[in-house]
């Protein structure tokens, strides 16, 4: 039992967990016919229940999971995979139907209309009643958390943001607060709102499909599942005191130390590469950083326009295309920064603490 726990502890390290999850997502999309079928669901979800039940016996895991405020996240652990699986299964079945020429599931019933009263209203009433039952049950069983009275002098370690912002707090490990806390959330909101104006693909409007909208779905799922939900789960369960990483079965020991050996890009370039001291003038010192960042935001759109995204460029038109690529680059910057941090301990690409401007 201990060895399994240790294996899981090591497996759930952020670098491994996120890479595995991304691989799992893309592989499952590729072999969606195999993954998203009832049998897989019948196997997968009970397995998760069993795994969760067994894990409950480990008191560290129990401690984290049964913390009152973590209950919704445990719920999300089940809900999000279920609904992703369900929508992908619908998409697969619809795609199979379009291939075989039969009308879509939704198409069959689009024509006939039913009276709202009683069908819709009645079912809504039942849904309301059921949901109230769920809520009241949940409220009775689990009391709302109330810790000791607020004390400005005592900073709890770890002090976490509310659970739905833990994704942002996790981003703080890799980016400075002005990026992770303000610019990226802004871009997420604007990006989400801009999706309909960027996605000009007419197909897939009003029914589950994957084949016809594979690109949009994969981007959305990657952004939502991996970069938001997974980070929330990681931030909730796997981040302990001093924001160090702790495996699900690891005791949250405040004295645990992680070697802070991250180095800026300017260090790498001037000290490690050229072996000379870091120049005093900020601009010169960070010139490398500026070059990399500008290059990142200017070169790929040009290159992609001529290569992979050639099709997009044509039917999106330059304005929409550049916005889309800029947003994609911003979204991709997070995983890239993560990889750089895991592999090369890279802290800042541009590091100007004097003006609080670090990327």
Partner 1 sequence: MSQLKELLTSLSPTKLGEAIQKSQIYRSVFRVGVPVSDRKRMLVMLGNVFLHLHPVKVRKSGIRLRFTWCMGGITFFLFLVLTFTGLLLMFYYRPTIEYAYVDIIDLREQVPLGIMREIHRWGAHAMVISVWLHMVRVFMTGSYKPPREFNWGVGVILLVLTLLLSFTGYLLPWDQLAMWAITVGSNMARATPFAGYEGPGANLLTLGENIPLISSTSDARFALLGGTRVGEMALLRFYVLHCVGLPLVAGFLMAVHFWRIRRDGGISGPL
Partner 2 sequence: MSKVNPPLRAAKPGEPADAGRRSFFSWMSLAWVSFTASMLAAGTATARFMFPNVLFEPPLTFRAGRPEELQVGIVDERFKDSNQVWLVREGGGIYALSTTCTHLGCTPNWLSAEQKFKCPCHGSGFYITGINFEGPAPRPLERFAISLADDGQLVIDKGRKFQQEKGQWELPGAYLEF
Partner 3 sequence: MSSETPNGGVPKPAIPPPAKKDPALNISQRGDRLYDDNGLHKWFAISSLLLFVFTVWMIVDDYNRDWRRYQRAFTRLSVQQTELDIAAAEGAIDRTAGEAILGELAAAQGDIDGNAATIAEIEGRLNALNDEFYSTNQAYLFARAEYDVERYDYEETLANDPGNAEPLRVAAENRLAEINENLEAVERLQIQIDDTTAELEVYIGERERLEADFLALRAEFDRLGGVRSTLDPGLIRTSIRNAPILDFMNPSETVNQIQLQNLHYDAPFLQVPRVDRCTTCHLGINQEALGEWPQPFTAHPRLDVFVGADSPHPMDGFGCTTCHAGLDRAVEFSRAGHVPENEEQQADWENRFDWYLDHFLETPMLPMDRIEASCLKCHTGAGDVPEAPALNMGRDLIRTYGCFGCHNMPGYEDVRRVGPDLTTIGSKLDEEWVKKWLADPRAFKSEARMPKFWFNSNNGGAEFEARNNAEITAITEFLFSRSQDNPLAAAAPAGGDAARGQALVESVGCLGCHAVGPIPEDPARTQHRRRFGYNLASQGSKTSEDWLYNWVRDPRAVWHDTNMPTLRLTDAEAADVAAYLVSLTNPEWETEAFPELDEAALDEVTLEFLRTGSTGIQAQEALAAMSLEEKIMTTGEGLIARYGCFGCHVIEGFETAQPIGTELTQPGSKLLNQFDFGFLDIEHTRTEWYAAKMADPRIFDVDRVKRPEELLRMPDFGFDETEVGAIVMILTGLVKDQVTPDMRNVLTADIEAGRGLVAQRNCRGCHEIEGAGGDIRSTIDDEGLWPPLLNTQGAKTQPLWLHSFLQEPGEETLRPWLSARMPTFYLDQAEATVLGKYFSAIDDAPYPFIDTAIATTDESLTAGRELFELAQCNLCHPAGDQIPDRDAADLAPDLALAAERLRPEWVEDWILDPQAIAPGTRMPAFYIDGVTQLPDILDDDTPRQLEAFRDHLFLTIGNGQRVADN
**Tokens encoding 311:** 């099709």
DSSP letters spanning 60-106: HHHHHHTSGGGHHHHHHHHHHHHHHHHHHHHHHHHHHHHHHTPPPHH
A 10 A CB-CB count for 234 gives 20
Of the pair 185, 241, the CB lying nearest partner 2 is at 241
Interacting stretch for partner 1, rule CB under 8 A, among 2-10, 82-90, 291-299, 315-323?
82-90
Task: Find the binding residues for partner 1 in span 51-70 (CB under 8 A).
Answer: 69
User: Distances from the Cα of 83 to the Cαs of 88, 89, 207, in angstroms?
Assistant: 8, 10, 15
Kindly give, in sequence order, each residue whose CB lies less than 8 Å from that of residue 4, ignoring residues fewer than 6 positions away.
Answer: none
The whole-angstrom separation of Cα 216 and Cα 320 is: 15
**Which of partner 2, partner 3, partner 1, none interacts with 299 (beta carbon under 5 to 8 A by kind)?**
none
Task: Find the binding residues for partner 3 in span 245-304 (CB under 8 A).
Answer: 253, 255-261, 263, 267, 271, 276-278
In the DSSP assignment, the letter for residue 358 is E
**Which of partner 1, partner 3, partner 2, none interacts with 271 (beta carbon under 5 to 8 A by kind)?**
partner 3
The answer to whether 235 and 150 have CB atoms below 8 angstroms apart is no
Q: Minimum distance from CB of 253 to partner 3 (Å)?
A: 7
Interaction of residue 115 with partner 1, rule CB under 8 A: yes
Task: Find the binding residues for partner 3 in span 138-197 (CB under 8 A).
Answer: none
How many residues line the site for partner 1 (CB under 8 A)?
96
Q: Minimum distance from CB of 212 to partner 1 (Å)?
A: 9
A 10 A CB-CB count for 191 gives 19
Interacting stretch for partner 1, rule CB under 8 A, among 25-33, 107-115, 325-333, 335-343?
107-115
**Which of partner 2, partner 1, partner 3, none interacts with 353 (beta carbon under 5 to 8 A by kind)?**
partner 2
In the DSSP assignment, the letter for residue 111 is S
Among 20, 43, 56, 136, binds partner 1 (CB under 8 A): 136
**Which of partner 1, partner 2, partner 3, none interacts with 253 (beta carbon under 5 to 8 A by kind)?**
partner 3
Q: Minimum distance from CB of 278 to partner 3 (Å)?
A: 7
Of the pair 54, 319, the CB lying nearest partner 1 is at 319
Q: Name residue 352's beta-bridge partners.
A: 357
Of the pair 117, 355, the CB lying nearest partner 2 is at 355
Kindly give, in sequence order, each residue whose CB lies less than 8 Å from that of residue 239, ignoring residues fewer than 6 positions away.
Answer: 158, 160, 166, 170, 245, 246
Closest CA to 73 of 188, 235, 220, 226: 235
Chain residues that interact with partner 3, rule: CB under 8 A:
253, 255-261, 263, 267, 271, 276-278
């Amino acid at each position: 039992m201990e060895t399994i726990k240790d294996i899981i502890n090591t497996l759930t390290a952020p670098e491994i967990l996120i890479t595995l999850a991304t691989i799992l997502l893309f592989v499952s999309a590729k072999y969606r016919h195999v993954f998203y079928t009832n049998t897989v669901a019948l196997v997968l979800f009970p397995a998760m229940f069993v795994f969760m039940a067994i894990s409950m016996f480990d008191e560290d895991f129990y401690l984290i999971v049964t913390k009152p405020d973590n209950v919704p996240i445990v719920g999300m652990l089940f809900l999000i995979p279920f609904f992703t699986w369900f929508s992908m299964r619908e998409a697969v079945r619809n795609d199979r139907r379009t291939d075989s020429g039969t009308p879509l599931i939704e198409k069959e019933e689009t024509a006939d209309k039913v009276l709202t009263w009683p069908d819709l209203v009645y079912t809504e009433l039942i849904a309301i009643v059921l949901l109230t039952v769920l809520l009241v049950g949940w409220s009775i069983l689990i009391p709302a958390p109330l810790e000791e009275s607020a004390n400005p002098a005592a900073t709890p370690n770890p002090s976490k943001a509310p659970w739905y912002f833990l994704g942002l707090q996790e981003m703080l490990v890799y980016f400075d607060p002005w990026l992770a806390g303000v610019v990226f959330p802004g871009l997420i909101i604007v990006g989400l709102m801009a999706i309909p104006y960027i996605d000009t693909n007419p197909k897939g409007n009003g029914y589950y499909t994957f084949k016809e909208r594979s690109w949009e779905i994969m981007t959305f799922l990657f952004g939502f599942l991996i970069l938001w939900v997974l980070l929330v789960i990681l931030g909730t369960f796997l981040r302990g005191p001093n924001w160090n990483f702790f495996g699900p079965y690891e005791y949250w020991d405040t004295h645990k130390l992680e070697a802070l050996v991250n180095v800026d890009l300017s260090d790498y370039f001037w000290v490690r590469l050229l072996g000379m001291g870091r120049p005093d003038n900020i601009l010169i010192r960070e010139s490398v950083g500026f070059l990399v960042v500008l290059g990142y935001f200017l070169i790929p759109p040009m290159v992609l326009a001529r290569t992979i995204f050639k099709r997009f460029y044509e039917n999106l038109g330059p304005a929409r295309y550049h916005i889309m690529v800029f947003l994609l680059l911003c979204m991709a910057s997070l995983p890239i920064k993560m990889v750089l941090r895991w592999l090369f301990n890279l802290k800042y690409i541009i590091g100007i603490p004097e003006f609080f401007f670090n990327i």
